[in-house]
Structure 1
Amino acid sequence: MPTWWKGFFNVYQLQSMKLILFALRKPITILVVVAALFFFGIGALRSIRVDIFPALNLPVLYIAHPYGGFTPEQMETLFAKQYINVLLFVNGIKSIETKNIQGLTLMKLNFYPGTNMAQAAAEVSAVSNRAQVLFPPGSNPPFIIRFDASTLPVGQLVLSSAVRSNNELLDLANLYVRSSFTSIPGLLSAPPFGGNIRTVVIKADPELLRAHNLTADQLVQAIDVNNQMAPSGNVRIGDKNYITPVNTTIRDVKDFGNIPIYKGDVQNLYIRDVATVEDGADVTAGYGLVNGKRSVYLSIAKSADASTWEVVQKLKAAIPRMQAQLPEDVKLSYEFDQSVYVLNSVKSLISEGAIGAVLTGLMVVLFLGDLRGALIVVMTIPTSIISGVLFLNLFGQTINIMTLSGLALAIGILVDESTVTIENIHQHLDMGKPKRLAVWDACKEIAFPKLLILFCILAVFAPAFTMGGIPGSLFLPLSLAIGFSMIVSYFLAQTFVPVMANWILSGRPHGKEGKTGGFDRVRARYLRFVDRMMPYRRPIVITYLLLTSVVAVFLLRGIGKDVLPKVNGSQFQVRLRAPEGTRIERTEEKTLKTIAIIKDIVGAQHVGITSAYVGQHPSLFSVNPIYLWMAGPQEAVLQVGLDEHYKVNLDDLKEKIRARVDSILPDIALSFEPIELTDKILSQGSPTPVEVRFSGRNKKNNETYALKLIDRLKKITYLRDVQLGQSTHYPAISIDVDRVRAAQLGVDINDVARSLTASTSSSRYTDKNIWVDQKVGNSYSVQVEVPENKMKSLGDIGEIPLLRNAARPVLGDVATIKEDTTYGESDNLGAIPVLSVTANLNKKDLGAATKDVRAAIASLGSLPRGLTVEPIGMSQTLTETLDSLQTGLVVAIVVIFLMLAANFQSFKVSAIVLATVPAVILGSLLLLLATGSTLNLQSYMGIIMSVGVSISNAVLLITNAEHLRKDNGNAQLSARESAALRIRPIVMTALAMVVGMIPMASGIGEAGDQSSPLGRAVIGGLVASTFAALFILPLVFAWGREKSGTASVSLEPEDAASREYLAAAGMQHWH
């Protein structure tokens, strides 16, 4: 052993002994420290933020730019392409994804990891302001927001009334409910969903306009000059300073009907003569439905640095106060609460931890026959967990599904720390030593091996600090939770356990009576079995290594793979697509029929709530599509919350819904979408687990090959809801103006455009006009439009008046009007057009689906130049996650190998310790397969933890065997003696961890589906590694070290243990 390593070893041995000595000399101090950890840990439990996911810090910004009435292709060319040109000046942009529908451009800006997002947001805001000069006149400024996984909606605040319209509810929600959110820290909310913006609507009658030789644009101009916002000045008369308000703004809505259309004419016409005036709403874009009735709801989100649990609880507490501000007929309720996911996970951890601690205590009693020792072990578990929460809080982490998984995993390994110490104390008591001496010798003996074990387990999770992207953001908090709890547990095992052992353990030996005698018989049989195997150690070890490695690789390739375990919850979300261009009224009818079908399948009494949004969002609510994307009036998104006590397999239920809807509503295409926040976050915006993107300059090629892939994917039996993600054949009415003919009639394109805007949309965007409601103190737009029911045919469109002159031209005089098709949605990646194909899975893992989808893509053959086809969304996340975890596991094993080699000063001994790793991986995979679980983030964590525990058991056994071999020079005898000595602690800790993990593995907790694969992977790995440690490891050691010498590898000539040592006489000779 070299001097530097020997020095480290000796220094640590001395320091660890000092720690134990300090604890034994000052036991009250140790109790104070433990009490402080517990006390401040409880405080941390009360103050730490509770969230669903850790802070992912995804570098993403959104730009939403509305302009009512523009076609998707106009939004693409006039807005999206202009933005792309200026956004290329922003530092750190990785990609720009654009969605363009009628009246809206939505851009998702992805940045490289590590980008300063505050600076990025400032740069994006600056260049977007510069881009404003490139946009059409009347364009509103864009809405720019950093919106990532940390700000996804966590519930809905629903307003319902039996007597009020959706438009009234929306106004109440905007004025009185949403404005109250400022009193709730961390709460964010988009404008209300489901209603339309209150507006003064001047509904022009086309027939009356024609009768009076008027155009709708003339009404707009008359309103502009008769309803204006003007500042009030001051008049100073005598000693008074008067404010001079003028009624330039009309105060009563009815008075808009009295606006004269002409100036100077005695026989004048008024607005009321050719139009009706309503205190109404903008052109209807969409409806909100709650329990089948039109309603309004607010999508509740929280800021990235806020606690989901706190925000939701404060919102619920504020609901009575908000309710008091609303009319009595309006009811306010909070639905689709996602924070219960965190609560269920916390409940699950507490119940599993309590059951695990009790079962662990029973195992200690079973093996040692010592209730007091079991009590000591059980006492250390909650202290370590609570202290782990304290340090998580100090390091800015939150309680979320990953840290909870880490703490749940830590419970198992925490058992090992204290159990090994108590068991070793019992061994020394059985030697007849006094209790004080037995405690001291036992703790001193295992101090360094336990530190080495701690380092090995921490090393398993060290790669979390080098992972990037989503895997790194998820894995790091889990690793910190385990690390902090482990470190505290080690401290307790070295201080608290010896103190409590001195105080409450019985000093009598447990040698040959009771349960120990029974275990001695088990030990004797075990040794006889090992003795029979020992002569055949070489073929047995080779067979073991080959068999476990080959089978593990085979299973690893064949086992199902997912990002996270599938959760069979009580909520689901489905998107309905009617034929392109279907009116929202018809889409609403089909949505209501779908709700009725669902109630018929599950029983109306089992449906807790249904919530749907039908159609597009109002153009002014440009942020709403970020929360919920809606591509047109033919789409509806339906959320269903089933009764909590109604148990059903969601996959089977979805199959029934698909079949029933297909038979009753054959023109409806369904696509089930993620509703759980975990799935929404990991999908990064993809609506389904399978999404394939086609990108290329030629839009026809994109569509042709996308349709070919759809045909191939529909032949894959487990794929469902296979469809094109965008609308490519939206019905249109093409209006081709003959400019020569128009000029002959005195009409120009401006006259046509302005008349068409008022007749097919409204004047809201082309001519801004404001009315102030004095009663509520709020302003609203005034717009001129032709009622939708007045435009029923191409003939009606052709009769739109264009100009007031002797010729009285109408649109049909200057234009050819015919039916056509256009793009209902035009998407881009950068400046390149894209299409996507989406599909869901039915009882199949994402890994197998990704493989089959890639094969289907390959079957398309040679693609045209410039066309790129690639899977995105969850498939991409799965690949990144598993690659990171596999690389991390390999790195961890290499780090452990090198660390063990440095400790034992032998690469061979280090390799012997790692001989149980193949058994761990094989055991975990076998149990996952047997229970129908997949390889996912949670089960991978279980495998990694099992590797750490197996190495800890191997370290205990091999450290002792190597020490004995150096004393007696016989590797076979040393392996046998070490196995005899370590069988009880290995079996105890393994069984204690296994029974501690049974509640988690059974999936019976509140969040059982999410955590059960983790517990199963740990149990499978532990069982296999225990058998390998007891039956294979002694053989590996005996074979690997049988020809090794006992001299140190030190090269120091003055080291007496080294083969290079020179005797004193020889040294004098050379000197």
Structure 2
Amino acid sequence: MWIVRLALRRPYTFVVLALVIILLTPVVLLRTPVDIFPDINIPVISLVWTYNGLQPQEMEQRITSNVERGVTTLVSDVEHIESQSLSGIAVIKVFFQPGANIQTALAQTAAISQTFLRFLPPGTTPPLVIIYSASTVPVIQIGLTSDTLSEQQLFDFGNYFIRTQLATVPGAATPFPYGGKQRVISVDINPTSLQAKGLSAVDIVNAVSAQNLILPTGTAKLGTLEYNVEMNGSPQTIEELNDLPVKTVNGATIYMREVAHVRDGFSPQTNIVLSNGQRGVLMSIYKTGTASTIDIVDRVKQMLEYNKGSVPEGLHISTFFDQSLYVRASIQGVIREAIIAACLTAVMILLFLGNWRSTLIIAISIPLSILVSILCLSALGQTINIMTLGGLALAVGILVDDATVEIENINRNLAMGKETVQAILDGAQQIAVPALVSTLCICIVFIPMFFLSGVAKFLFVPLAEAVSFAMLASYMWSRTIVPTLAMYLLSTEDEYRADEHVGEKMGFFRRYQQGFERSFEKFRGGYQRALVIALQSPKLFAVCFLAFCVFSVLIAGFLGRDFFPKVDAGQIRLHMRARTGLRIEETARLADQVNGVIRETIPKDELTTVLD
């Protein structure tokens, strides 16, 4: 009650407070990350082990299994482990409990990996340790294709130019490109000549390693200057590599060109990217941390546009996937539905109250409550996503309760002939406790969501927070801004309530509302008659009600269950599995055949890109 008296005594204070919130919210919104879902902070650490040439079965038995046992027993807060063993590569994903300290887990995992390295097969390289999260997902994929540039040139441009530029985008992480060919200097050994000379492949490796060195040897002081001196034994051309001496046997020097051929080539391809049947390079940009998906995508596009002049002639850069489109569409859809809900709510209030002044007061309290909720969510580190916006849209229809009940009670006191200020005080006091209990009951419903675990917790807690903050803000505004506005807008309301004649004095809204009330009274009369019939036959009504409940439970089993509803994203994803051991060139040929079938099946006007 004291806060209502304070609001009536100092009305400008709360009006200014409302204006400050209205002006502050856009600033906060611009700094709040925007994403399709809340930040799902389930910590995951990936260990990538490499041993070139080792078969998948050997990788699993010699590396993957040993590391899994060590991590399971010596690293704390492990929830479960997933692993994948490929040819020369083992990827181990360690999933931790939601409340685990990821930095402690990272230190323990790295220490265990280094300890186990001495027990693994000789030649195993130290693992690449990567912190991963469920929110670390691709937000945009870029494709590089060209009719004039080779796959090697495409890979080099993507890896050494675009990737380094993308490293400056906050919140973006860009791994190595997929597809293309990596340039290497290859030494092709001639086994027949090697055997005839009495040499082995180890001799070739030793010769290249020993004669491809650059060693600093000190400095040379000549006159007033000092020079750095180095021993440079690194060949500068392919011809010089072919002329390297390999070994001297019986006084005769055997050169590299006699037992091998050195060429400028590329390493064996492990993946091939096809864009509409044309080979190219695919670059995936991932979102890290709580960065905004829309900001990352916009900055990546700005970077590509800025560096368009540095792109080699004939190189085409295209976007295969852009998550910001789905984020914007989802958020705009939720906002649109929330605005429609607010407008419909205002129309219904106008129909039932029949007074534009009362409707205006209630309509002002709705966005103010939503703005307060947005400020609270931003202060807690939440993002703008479909869950928080969905919670606000859900709360729109409930936010009107506090203000509507208070306005109606104030009008009732005005109709009793009380002064405006006294009517406001009495009306607010009479419904203060019931309104508070009603608000708390709605908030209590969402308390169990805070005890959820796993992905459900990260998804539904923001929704619960959005609704709860909006409801509490609604009650606060009903104690402050609603009485303040009522003091000015309802100052002559007693004249409207005292006038019982339907004449020219009665406004349009009042006359229309009376017609609506007469129609509603007819509807209510029909409902009362139906209720009387139900009360006269309680057993029949109870049987029908139970039958309806049983039928509803039975058909619930046919609805199906899924984690998320199906969304038409305009994409079809096919997974093709070839037999084990098939060469990558043959796998690419099979992908070309599938590509052809897709183009024969889907009309050209409905197909944009086929990415293999």
Q: Give the one of 376, 379, 398 matched to 2:383.
A: 398
Q: Give the one of 33, 36, 43 matched to 2:17.
A: 33
Do the aligned partners of residues 330 and 76 (structure 1) sit closer, same or farther apart at CA in structure 2, a change above 3 Å counting?
Answer: same
2:55 matched to 1:71? Answer: yes
TM-superposition CA deviations, 1:762-789 (whole Å, max 9, x none): xxxxxxxxxxxxxxxxxxxxxxxxxxxx
Partner of 1:104: 89
Partner of 1:129: 114
- The 3-state SS of whatever aligns with 1:96 is strand
TM-superposition CA deviations, 1:145-189 (whole Å, max 9, x none): 121211111121222222222222222222222122332111111
Paired AA for residue 228 in structure 1: L
Partner of 1:43: 27
Cα distance in 2 between the residues matched to 1:405 and 1:500:
29
- The 3-state SS of whatever aligns with 1:19 is helix
Q: Give the one of 508, 517, 520 matched to 1:519.
A: 517
Partner of 1:591: 591
**Displacement, 1:482?**
1.0
Cα distance in 1 between the residues matched to 2:436 and 2:548:
29
Paired AA for residue 166 in structure 2: F
Partner of 1:580: 580
Cα distance in 1 between the residues matched to 2:250 and 2:605:
67
1:625-704 alignment, distance < 5 Å: none
Contact in 2 for aligned 1:368/1:516 (Cα 8 Å): no
Contact in 1 for aligned 2:78/2:97 (Cα 8 Å): yes
TM-superposition CA deviations, 1:712-736 (whole Å, max 9, x none): xxxxxxxxxxxxxxxxxxxxxxxxx
Partner of 1:567: 567
Contact in 1 for aligned 2:176/2:283 (Cα 8 Å): yes
- The 3-state SS of whatever aligns with 1:567 is coil
**Displacement, 1:75?**
0.7
Partner of 2:505: none
Cα distance in 1 between the residues matched to 2:280 and 2:524:
75
**Displacement, 1:333?**
3.6
Cα distance in 2 between the residues matched to 1:531 and 1:475:
39
2:314 matched to 1:329? Answer: yes
Paired AA for residue 22 in structure 2: F
**Displacement, 1:579?**
3.1
Cα distance in 2 between the residues matched to 1:104 and 1:439:
74
1:717-756 alignment, distance < 5 Å: none
Greater Cα offset, 491-500 or 403-412 = 491-500
Contact in 1 for aligned 2:144/2:317 (Cα 8 Å): yes
Partner of 1:53: 37
Cα distance in 1 between the residues matched to 2:530 and 2:401:
25
Do the aligned partners of residues 86 and 232 (structure 1) sit closer, same or farther apart at CA in structure 2, a change above 3 Å counting?
Answer: farther
Q: Give the one of 265, 284, 299 matched to 2:269.
A: 284
**Displacement, 1:123?**
0.5
Partner of 1:823: none
Contact in 2 for aligned 1:316/1:334 (Cα 8 Å): no
Paired AA for residue 598 in structure 2: I
- The 3-state SS of whatever aligns with 2:343 is helix
Cα distance in 2 between the residues matched to 1:44 and 1:511:
49
RMSD: 2.7
- The 3-state SS of whatever aligns with 1:478 is helix
**Displacement, 1:545?**
6.4
Partner of 2:453: 468
2:152 matched to 1:154? Answer: no
1:829-848 alignment, distance < 5 Å: none
Do the aligned partners of residues 530 and 380 (structure 1) sit closer, same or farther apart at CA in structure 2, a change above 3 Å counting?
Answer: same
Do the aligned partners of residues 100 and 533 (structure 1) sit closer, same or farther apart at CA in structure 2, a change above 3 Å counting?
Answer: same
Cα distance in 1 between the residues matched to 2:526 and 2:2:
38
**Displacement, 1:282?**
0.7
Partner of 1:867: none
- The 3-state SS of whatever aligns with 1:316 is helix
Contact in 2 for aligned 1:170/1:192 (Cα 8 Å): yes
- The 3-state SS of whatever aligns with 1:255 is helix
- The 3-state SS of whatever aligns with 1:294 is strand
Q: Which runs of 5+ in 2 are unaligned?
A: 503-510
Greater Cα offset, 301-310 or 259-268 = 259-268
1:610-621 alignment, distance < 5 Å: 610-612=610-612
Contact in 2 for aligned 1:208/1:274 (Cα 8 Å): yes
- The 3-state SS of whatever aligns with 2:235 is coil
**Displacement, 1:103?**
0.7
Paired AA for residue 80 in structure 1: T
Cα distance in 2 between the residues matched to 1:254 and 1:175:
27
Q: Give the one of 360, 364, 382 matched to 1:379.
A: 364
Paired AA for residue 102 in structure 1: S
Do the aligned partners of residues 535 and 310 (structure 1) sit closer, same or farther apart at CA in structure 2, a change above 3 Å counting?
Answer: closer
**Displacement, 1:390?**
0.9
Partner of 2:507: none
Do the aligned partners of residues 232 and 281 (structure 1) sit closer, same or farther apart at CA in structure 2, a change above 3 Å counting?
Answer: farther
Do the aligned partners of residues 171 and 449 (structure 1) sit closer, same or farther apart at CA in structure 2, a change above 3 Å counting?
Answer: same
Cα distance in 2 between the residues matched to 1:193 and 1:524:
68
TM-score (norm 2): 0.90
**Displacement, 1:394?**
0.5
Partner of 1:21: 5
Contact in 1 for aligned 2:215/2:232 (Cα 8 Å): no
**Displacement, 1:238?**
5.4
Q: Give the one of 418, 435, 444 matched to 1:459.
A: 444
1:729-878 alignment, distance < 5 Å: none
- The 3-state SS of whatever aligns with 1:283 is coil
- The 3-state SS of whatever aligns with 2:609 is strand
**Displacement, 1:210?**
5.6
**Displacement, 1:558?**
4.4
Cα distance in 2 between the residues matched to 1:528 and 1:406:
35
Contact in 1 for aligned 2:245/2:253 (Cα 8 Å): yes
TM-superposition CA deviations, 1:314-336 (whole Å, max 9, x none): 22221133444442333334430
**Displacement, 1:122?**
0.2
Paired AA for residue 249 in structure 1: S
Q: Give the one of 484, 492, 511 matched to 2:469.
A: 484
Cα distance in 2 between the residues matched to 1:102 and 1:69:
7
Contact in 2 for aligned 1:349/1:404 (Cα 8 Å): yes
Cα distance in 1 between the residues matched to 2:501 and 2:432:
27
2:210 matched to 1:225? Answer: yes
Q: Give the one of 347, 351, 361 matched to 2:332.
A: 347
Paired AA for residue 96 in structure 1: I
Partner of 2:605: 605
Contact in 2 for aligned 1:155/1:334 (Cα 8 Å): yes
Q: Give the one of 199, 205, 211 matched to 2:184.
A: 199
**Displacement, 1:79?**
0.9
TM-score (norm 1): 0.53
Contact in 2 for aligned 1:436/1:502 (Cα 8 Å): yes
- The 3-state SS of whatever aligns with 1:574 is coil
Paired AA for residue 8 in structure 2: L
Cα distance in 1 between the residues matched to 2:56 and 2:547:
60
Cα distance in 2 between the residues matched to 1:220 and 1:203:
12
Q: Which runs of 5+ in 1 are unaligned?
A: 1-16, 613-1071
Cα distance in 2 between the residues matched to 1:528 and 1:142:
75
Contact in 1 for aligned 2:369/2:473 (Cα 8 Å): yes
Contact in 1 for aligned 2:45/2:106 (Cα 8 Å): yes
